[in-house]
Structure 1
Amino acid sequence: MKYKVIGMMSGTSLDGLDLCYVHLSVDENGRWQFELQCSESIPYSAEWRLKLSAVEAGNALGYALLDVALGRYFGEQVKAFISKHQLQVDFIASHGHTVFHQPSAHYLTTQLGHGAQINAVSGVPVFCDFRTADVALGGQGAPLVPIGDRLLFADYDFCLNLGGIANISLEEDGVRKAFDIGVANMPLNYFVKSLGLDFDEEGKIARSGQVDQAVFEALNALPFFEKFGVKSLGKEWVFSEVIPRLETIGKTNDQLATAVEHAAYQIGRCLGHFSAKQKGKCLVTGGGAFNQYFLERIAFWAEGTTLIIPGEEIIEQKEALIFALLGVLKYRHEVNCLASVTGAKQDHSAGQLFDYQGKLSS
C-alpha cells in the first residue's frame, strides 16, 4: 500500500517551516521505500521569529495563544502547499515547534502548533504530539528520527543531523542507538544576529575568527559530554550553559569560530568513539550541512569517517520526511519510537490524531 503524506517540521534554529510531500510504501518483506514528490521550506518572518524566540519568557496565556496561532499558521501554509501542487494527501504528520524540553527533571516536553488547528484550517487529518508519550514513559522524547534512519537510510553507518542541535543515529550490535551530541546551528544563528544576518553563509565569518581556547575547553568540560548514549538537549540548556560562556568573547567572528570548533570537536569525538568499532559512511543533513567551514572542522576531528553530503532536498527535508514516516507507522499501529534510543520503558507507537472530518479509520 502507498501512503501519500505531508511531513511538517519546525526546528529550534528558527529557520522556518519545512513541508515535505512524500509517497511511502512497504513491501511484503517489511522493506520501506520513499519517493519524495515535492517540498518547500518557508522562512519565518521577523515577527514569527521574535514570537517563537521570546515565548518561554512570557506567561501561560501567551503560550496558549501562540500554540493556537502557530497551529492556524501551519494549517494555512500546508493548505496553500496542497493547492499550489494539486496534491492528493492521506494525512499530515507534524512535529510542531519545541519550546520547553526538560524530560529528565520534570517529564516535560512541549511543542507549539496545535494539531486541532492544523486539521481545522487545512481540512486534512493530522498526526502530531509525537514526543510527550515517550517522556511520560521515562524517555527523553528525542531524538525520534532514528526509526526513519533504520527503515529508510540503512545504507549509511551513521546519520548526523546538524540542526539547532546536533544529533546522531547508528546501529550497534543490532540495536539502534541515537542521542543529541551537543549544539550545532543554534549558537551560530544567535551570535550572527548582531551583524544583521540570519546565518553565517558557508561559515565565512567563523573562518575569519580565532578560537578562544579557554572558552573552548570550558564548553568541552560541561557534564553533558561525559557519556555517549541516551541523552537530549533543549533550548534552555543552550542558553544557560553555552551562550553565556561564548558571550565572554569580545568579537562576533571569534564567538562563531569558538562555537564551530566546540561543536565540531564534540561531533568528531563522538564519531571517533563509534568508528573505533566501525569506520564508515556518515550521512550529514540539516542546515549545518551547508556550512562548509563547519564541515571542514568536523572532518578534521572525525578523521577516518567519510562524510556524505546528499542533495539539497534531502539535506533540508530529511526530518520532515521521517516525521511523515512516523505518522504512517502510527496509522498502522506500529512502533515509531525506540526505547533503545530514548531510554523509555518500552518501544511504543506515539502520536495523536486530529480528524474532525472522520476521514481516517482508527
Structure 2
Amino acid sequence: MLMTAIGLMSGTSLDGVDVALIKTDGRRVSALGPTGYRPYSDAERSLLRQALAEAGQLTRRDDRPGSLGEAERMVTLAHAEAAANFTAQHGIAREDVDIVGFHGQTVLHRPAQKLTVQIGDAAALAKAIRVPVMHDFRAADVAAGGQGAPLVPVYHRALAQSLDRSGPLAVVNIGGVSNISYIDGHETLIACDTGPGNALLDDFVLRVSGQPFDAEGRLAAQGQVDEAWVAAALQHPFFAAPPPKSLDRNEFAALALPKLTPADGAATLTAFTAGAIAGIVPLLPKLPLSWIVTGGGARNLSLLRMLREKLAPASVENADALGWSADAMEAQAFGFLAARGLKGLPLTYPQTTGVVIPMTGGRIARP
C-alpha cells in the first residue's frame, strides 16, 4: 500500500529542522514531494550545544538533567512548528498524511555501552500536529547489539535502484558526522560512519569567526592544509576498524589543532573530513565507481574539491544533480523509515550496523 509520509530531521550540525514529504510503500520511493526547513535561532543552537555538553554524563537514556529537559521541549516545539508551517504552506491536510517520521536530536551515541539518546517528545508532537508519529528508530538496534547508525542506507538503496549505473556506488552523507552507504546491485548494502563531517569544522569556524559554518568552503579555500596534523589525526584507531561502525558527534572533539590562522585551520579540518571519507575505500569489497554527496557538506566546494582529488578516478557529484535533495535527504529518509517501520520491514542489517539479524525499529505515538 502506498503511503504519504513526512520526515523530520534535526542533525548533528545543529542548523535546524528539515521537513520532507515522500510517497512510498516502504520498499520503493514512488514520488518525492516538497521540502521545507525551519532554522534554529542562535539561542536555540546555543541551548543544543549546552545539552550536548551535559549529555556526556548520561548513563540512562530517559534522564533529562540540567539543560536537557529545556532542550527537549525546544526541540519538540521546533519540530511541531516546522511540520505545521510545512503542511500549511503546501496545502497538505493532516488526514492525508499517514505517518510522520521524527528522529529527534541525538545528544549522545555510545553503542558500545548500548546507549543512544535522542531528545524530543514524540507524544507531545503527535498531539500538536494530530498525526501519528514514528520515533525512537535507533533503540531496538542498539539493544540487540548493533551500532544504531547509520539508518539512512536503506533509503539510499531505494533511491539508487532508480539509477542506471553499473558497478558499485557510494552515497556519502556529510552532516556533523559523515557516513557512507556502499551499494552494489540489489543485494550488497554496506554502511558505516567514516568519521568527522562538519562538526569539527563548524565548531572551529564558530570559535574563530562567530559564523556557524564555513559557507561554501570559502575560508578553507584561502588556507593551507597542515598535512602532518591530518596524517597524525587519521591514525586514530576508529579509521582502521572495518564497517559497520559508528561514533558520537564529539568523538574527535579532544583533537587540538596547532596554532593556525583561521583559514589554515579551516583547510586542515576540511582535509581531515575528506581524508576520513577516502580512508574507507580500502575497507570496501570493491572500488566505488561513483560517489554521490549529500548533507550539508555537499555545499562545501572546498570539501568537494578535496574529495575529487582523493577519490579519483571515481566520479564525485552532488546529489542535487541527480534530482535528489542534498539538503532534505535525511528528512526524506525518516519518512521512508517510518513507512518501513509501520510495515515491520527491516531498517538495519548486519552489514549496516553490525546487528546480528535484520531489525525493524521505531515506536508509534498517536495523537
Same fold (TM over 0.5): yes
The reply to whether residue 66 of structure 1 matches residue 80 of structure 2 is: no
Q: 1:81 aligns with which of 83, 86, 94?
A: 86
Structure 1 residue 107: Cα displacement: 0.6
The reply to whether residue 271 of structure 1 matches residue 281 of structure 2 is: yes
Q: Which moved more, 1:202-211 or 1:136-145?
A: 202-211
What is the CA–CA distance in structure 2 between the aligned matches of 1:99 and 1:57, rounded to whole Å?
A: 8
What are the Cα deviations for residues 225-260 of structure 1, in whole angstroms up to 9, with x where unaligned?
1123111111231323xxx322x3332211111111
What is the CA–CA distance in structure 2 between the aligned matches of 1:73 and 1:279, rounded to whole Å?
A: 38
- Partner of residue 162, structure 1: 174
- Partner of residue 17, structure 1: 17
What are the Cα deviations for residues 284-342 of structure 1, in whole angstroms up to 9, with x where unaligned?
11111111111010111111211121328610011111111110011112112222210
The reply to whether residue 257 of structure 1 matches residue 270 of structure 2 is: no
What is the CA–CA distance in structure 2 between the aligned matches of 1:11 and 1:57, rounded to whole Å?
A: 16
Unaligned runs of 5+ in 1: 357-362
Structure 1 residue identity aligned to 2:279 = R
What is the CA–CA distance in structure 2 between the aligned matches of 1:70 and 1:265, rounded to whole Å?
A: 33
Q: Which moved more, 1:151-160 or 1:225-234?
A: 151-160
What are the Cα deviations for residues 137-184 of structure 1, in whole angstroms up to 9, with x where unaligned?
111100011111222223361111111111111135933110001112
What are the Cα deviations for residues 113-133 of structure 1, in whole angstroms up to 9, with x where unaligned?
121111111111100110111
Structure 1 residue 196: Cα displacement: 2.2
For the structure 1 residues 115 and 108, does the alpha-carbon distance in structure 2 shift closer, same or farther, using more than 3 Å as the test?
A: same
Q: Which moved more, 1:137-146 or 1:37-46?
A: 37-46
- Partner of residue 102, structure 2: 94
What is the CA–CA distance in structure 2 between the aligned matches of 1:328 and 1:298, rounded to whole Å?
A: 33
Tell me if structure 2 keeps the 8 A contact 1:279–1:304.
no
- Equivalent residue runs for 1:160-199 within 5 Å: 160-171=172-183, 174-193=187-206, 194-199=208-213
What is the CA–CA distance in structure 2 between the aligned matches of 1:233 and 1:117, rounded to whole Å?
A: 29
Number of residue pairs aligned between Structure 1 and Structure 2:
346
What is the CA–CA distance in structure 2 between the aligned matches of 1:114 and 1:139, rounded to whole Å?
A: 24
Structure 1 SS opposite 2:247: coil
Tell me if structure 1 keeps the 8 A contact 2:22–2:336.
no
For the structure 1 residues 57 and 161, does the alpha-carbon distance in structure 2 shift closer, same or farther, using more than 3 Å as the test?
A: closer
Structure 1 residue identity aligned to 2:2 = K
Tell me if structure 1 keeps the 8 A contact 2:348–2:355.
no
Structure 2 residue identity aligned to 1:257 = A
- Partner of residue 5, structure 2: 5
Structure 1 residue identity aligned to 2:130 = G
Tell me if structure 2 keeps the 8 A contact 1:268–1:299.
no
For the structure 1 residues 254 and 76, does the alpha-carbon distance in structure 2 shift closer, same or farther, using more than 3 Å as the test?
A: same
What is the CA–CA distance in structure 2 between the aligned matches of 1:3 and 1:200, rounded to whole Å?
A: 38
What is the CA–CA distance in structure 2 between the aligned matches of 1:227 and 1:172, rounded to whole Å?
A: 21
Output the aligned Cα RMSD: 1.9
Q: Which moved more, 1:294-303 or 1:83-92?
A: 83-92
Tell me if structure 1 keeps the 8 A contact 2:243–2:351.
no
- Partner of residue 364, structure 2: 353
Q: 1:203 aligns with which of 217, 225, 246?
A: 217
- Equivalent residue runs for 1:319-358 within 5 Å: 319-356=330-367
Tell me if structure 1 keeps the 8 A contact 2:83–2:129.
yes
- Partner of residue 40, structure 1: 36
Structure 2 SS opposite 1:198: coil
Structure 2 residue identity aligned to 1:323 = F
What is the CA–CA distance in structure 2 between the aligned matches of 1:18 and 1:245, rounded to whole Å?
A: 31
Indicate the percent of aligned positions where both proteins have the same amino acid: 32
Tell me if structure 2 keeps the 8 A contact 1:8–1:320.
yes
What is the CA–CA distance in structure 1 between the aligned matches of 2:144 and 2:71, rounded to whole Å?
A: 27
What is the CA–CA distance in structure 1 between the aligned matches of 2:359 and 2:302, rounded to whole Å?
A: 39
- Equivalent residue runs for 1:287-302 within 5 Å: 287-302=296-311
- Partner of residue 360, structure 1: none
What is the CA–CA distance in structure 2 between the aligned matches of 1:335 and 1:287, rounded to whole Å?
A: 27
- Partner of residue 220, structure 1: 234
Larger helix share, 1 or 2 = 1
Structure 2 residue identity aligned to 1:352 = R
- Partner of residue 142, structure 1: 149
The reply to whether residue 230 of structure 1 matches residue 244 of structure 2 is: yes
What is the CA–CA distance in structure 1 between the aligned matches of 2:88 and 2:214, rounded to whole Å?
A: 34
For the structure 1 residues 17 and 287, does the alpha-carbon distance in structure 2 shift closer, same or farther, using more than 3 Å as the test?
A: same
